[in-house]
C-alpha cells in the first residue's frame, strides 16, 4: 500500500513565524501535491511538483513556497505565517502512466493554527 506521511498532525504557531510542513511518500511517485482544506471551500491546490526540483503554482500559491530536493519528499513552507493561513493542509502523491486514472493518495493532514 502507498503510504504518504505528514510530519505533524497538529501545529500551533505565532504570526510571523516560519513554518515547515513535511511530506514523505514511499511509492516512488513522481507527482506530489499540497492542498489546503477549509470548510465550505473544499480542497484548493497550493503547489505541485512533477519531479525533483520542479514545482508549479496551483490556485492559491500566495504566501507559500515549496521544496522538492528528493523524489520522496515535498515540503510546504510558510515564510511568515499569518492568521488566515490557519487551516488543514493535505499532501498527496500519484504516479501517472498510460491508462492510469491519476488517483491521488493522501496523507493524514496537518492542522495548522496560527495565533
b/e 47-69 (16+ beta carbons within 10 angstroms → b): bbbeeeeebeebeeeeebebbbe
Q: Is 98 in the site for another protein (CB under 8 A)?
A: no
Residue 104 in the binding site for another protein (CB under 8 A) = yes
Nearer Cβ to another protein (46/78): 46
Residues 14 to 53 in contact with another protein, rule: CB under 8 A: 31, 33, 35, 40-45, 48, 50
Q: To the nearest whole angstrom, how small is the minimum distance from the Cβ of residue 73 to another protein?
A: 18
d(CA 17, CA 82): 8
List the grid coordinates of 11: 501545529
Amino acid at each position: 500500500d502507498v503510504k504518504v506521511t505528514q510530519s505533524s498532525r497538529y501545529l500551533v504557531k505565532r504570526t510571523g513565524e516560519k513554518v515547515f510542513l513535511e511530506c514523505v511518500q514511499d511509492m516512488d511517485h513522481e507527482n506530489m501535491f499540497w492542498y489546503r482544506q477549509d470548510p465550505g471551500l473544499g480542497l484548493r491546490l497550493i503547489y505541485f511538483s512533477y519531479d525533483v526540483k520542479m514545482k508549479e503554482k496551483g490556485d492559491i500559491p500566495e504566501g507559500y513556497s515549496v521544496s522538492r530536493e528528493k523524489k520522496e519528499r515535498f515540503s510546504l513552507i510558510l515564510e511568515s505565517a499569518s492568521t488566515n493561513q490557519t487551516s488543514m493542509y493535505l499532501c498527496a502523491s500519484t504516479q501517472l502512466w498510460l491508462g492510469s486514472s491519476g488517483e491521488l493518495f493522501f496523507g493524514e493532514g496537518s492542522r495548522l493554527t496560527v495565533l
